[in-house]
Amino acid sequence: MAAENRSAARLAACQALYQMEVAGKGLNEILSEFEVYWIGAEVEGDQYKPAEIAFFRSIVSGVLANQVVIDRTVDKILSEGWPLRRIEALMRAILRAGAFELLKRGDVPARVAIKEYVDVAGAFFEREEAGMINAVLDALARKARADEFSA
């Protein structure tokens, strides 16, 4: 159950980051909106799963607090000519959230974080886009957490 709640927290965090960017909402506003109206609620016929609220907050606020470093790191991994700002907003949110976990949440195994964000991408995008998320996060993880991949 804890794993499901973390998965739901990751999905909600990506949606919240996306909403913040496209709607220009602030951190406190978006956190309360998601916690009151989305997480664990039924919205327009869709049932949103309960999420680990502290983990959701950690991802959203962590991305914001570390966004400059995250964006620079992801930019270096993306192929030339495609800086992060040119990628679709929801994909950008997924990459930022995944990068945050890989860079700042050492308590989460790198392979778990990568798989989780590839799953989030798969809920919204075709295989090609999910594959791109996988490739970028895998490359980042192999640099940031080489010890987890050297076995």
Three-point CA angle 75, 81, 87, nearest 5°:
60
The residues spanned by each domain of the chain are: 2-146
Report phi then psi at 46, rounded to 5: -100, 130
pLDDT score recorded for residue 87: 86
Q: For residue range 26-67, what is the model confidence (pLDDT) as tens digits? A: 999 999 999 888 888 877 887 778 889 999 999 999 999 999
The maximal CA–CA distance of the chain, rounded, in angstroms, is 47
Q: What is the pTM assigned to this prediction? A: 0.92
Give the contacts of 87 (CB within 8 A, at least 6 positions apart): 78, 95
- Amino acid identity at 141: A
Q: Which CATH superfamily is domain 2-146 in?
A: NusB-like (1.10.940.10)
Q: Is the dihedral of CA 76, 80, 81, 86 positive or negative?
A: negative
| 82-121 pLDDT per residue, tens | 777 788 999 999 999 999 999 999 999 999 999 999 999 9
Contact predicate 109/6, CB 8 Å: no
**Predicted local distance difference test score (pLDDT) of residue 85:** 77
Q: What is the dihedral of CA 102, 151, 135, 76, to 10 degrees?
A: 60
